[in-house]
Amino acid sequence: QQQVKQSPQSLIVQKGGISIINCAYENTAFDYFPWYQQFPGKGPALLIAIRPDVSEKKEGRFTISFNKSAKQFSLHIMDSQPGDSATYFCAASKTQKLVFGQGTRLTINP
């Protein structure tokens, strides 16, 4: 059973554009929703995270939008840059254990 579903699998965006990645979850007990960025050969790096008591969180060019009633959350990358090209994972947690989505391979064209 896939508890966290992520889309799209791959995404190509022009430099300067907005990249949007979506996730949906099933377990309403989840209380922590992070996004990770992973480059080839590296471990996932925490980008930004949100808790379900807020609907949006912004850190620099990265924004999480959270819709508790729809059980969905999304990552928006503003002014996307070639250096943002990586695989992005959403995740959800209730008791420390992270459940990851399948990942989105993002390519930013110069």
CB of 93 to other proteins, least distance (A): 4
The strand pair at 10-14 and 104-109 is best described as: parallel
CB of 68 to other proteins, least distance (A): 16
SS3 call for 84: helix
Instruction: Considering the complex, state which of residue 18 and residue 45 has its C-beta at the smaller distance from other proteins.
Output: 45
Q: Could you tell me which residues come within 8 angstroms of residue 97 by beta carbon, excluding any fewer than 6 positions away?
A: none
Q: Does the protein bind other proteins through residue 46 (CB under 8 A)?
A: yes
With contacts defined by CB under 8 A, name the span among 13-21, 29-37, 64-72, 73-81 that binds other proteins.
29-37
Identify the residue whose tokens are 């008591």.
Answer: 53
